[in-house]
Amino acid sequence: MVMADSDYESVICVKPEVHVYRIPPRASNRGYRAAEWQLDQPAWSGRLRITARDKKAFIKLEDRTSGKELGSSIYSGCVGVF
């Protein structure tokens, strides 16, 4: 059986441990300061997986143990890379 190109998904990158933080609103126009983000208390920790299919990249946040997807985003801005 021949697979169509649209059926093939390649894994570009897997980061086994990533963290998501709640960034508090800025108090002034001075910008964001990572010291205020409570870096010792991430809102979520898990795995980041980037895959490619049909000239699009899929950025996924997944649970480390179950593989359940927390969220995802599609990136298609740089089609020449794939």
Q: What is the pLDDT of residues 9-63, one digit of tens each?
A: 899 999 999 999 888 887 777 777 777 788 889 999 999 999 998 888 999 999 9
63-76 pLDDT, tens digit each: 999 989 999 999 98
Can you give the CATH number for the domain in which 47 is found? 3.30.67
pTM of the model: 0.72
Domain span at 57 = 1-20+40-82
Please report whether residue 59 resides in a domain: yes
- State how beta strands 69-75 and 56-62 pair: antiparallel
Specify if 28 maps to a domain. Answer: no
Residue 4 has a pLDDT of: 59
Residue 34, phi then psi, degrees to nearest 5: -60, -25
In DSSP notation, the chain reads: -PPPGGG--EEEEEEEEEEE-PPPPPSSTT---GGGS-TTS-SEEEEEEEEEETTEEEEEEE-TTT--EEEEEEE-S-TT--
Q: Considering the domain boundaries, does residue 32 fall inside one?
A: no
Six token digits for residue 68: 């359940």
The domain tally of the chain equals 1
Residue 30, domain member (yes or no): no
